Amino acid sequence: MLQSIMKSTFPYTADLVIMANTKIGEPHTVISTGNSYDQDFTKDGNNANQISEVRIISAKLQSKDPSNYNIGNISALRVYMAKADGSDEVLVAIRKDIAANSGNSVVLDIDNSHFLDEIVREPGVRIRMVYLLRKGVDIDVNLKLSLSIGAEPRER
């Protein structure tokens, strides 16, 4: 069980940029690479083979630059995780009802119906966010996405 706790401690994070003058009311996509302090699922000598059933356990989106950007300017979003080449993409988080006055941070609803074992063992993870803007922006906005990962010890 210690392995489960350790893998959950360091989330995958991704910087996602909403470009200035993005049209409101239309779906837009932004793609980034997910990084984790503990990216050692694939390295020799670790115990990556000792874990299984890797899933998302929480997801959060927050303003990075400007730090006071109101995430309520986004009306809805979906977050997908995939291998670096975009294959094996799965929905991992969604938020359909972001309140207009949400502030600079919002917790997303997770979709943990998929195991991510193969994706997180890849050298790179692709994060794709599809979103709808409620209110336009006149500067580029940098958001930080945090996806906490949980895993179970593999049965021997």
- Residue ranges making up the domain that contains 91: 2-153
Q: Domain tally for the chain?
A: 1
Q: What confidence category does residue 45 fall into, taking pLDDT thresholds of 50, 70 and 90?
A: very low
pLDDT, tens digit, for every residue of 52-103? 788 899 999 999 999 999 999 999 999 999 999 999 999 999 999 999 999 9
- The torsion angles phi and psi of 90, rounded to 5 degrees, stand at -135, 145
Here the tokens at position 61 are 């989106």
Beta 141-153 vs 51-65: how paired, if at all? antiparallel
CB 90 within 8 A of CB 116: yes
pLDDT, tens digit, for every residue of 93-146? 999 999 999 999 999 999 988 888 888 877 779 999 999 999 998 999 999 999
Here the tokens at position 117 are 């074992």
Here the tokens at position 35 are 């990084």
Query: Domain holding 62: CATH number?
Result: 2.60.120
Listed in sequence order, the DSSP H helices in the chain are 2-9, 117-120
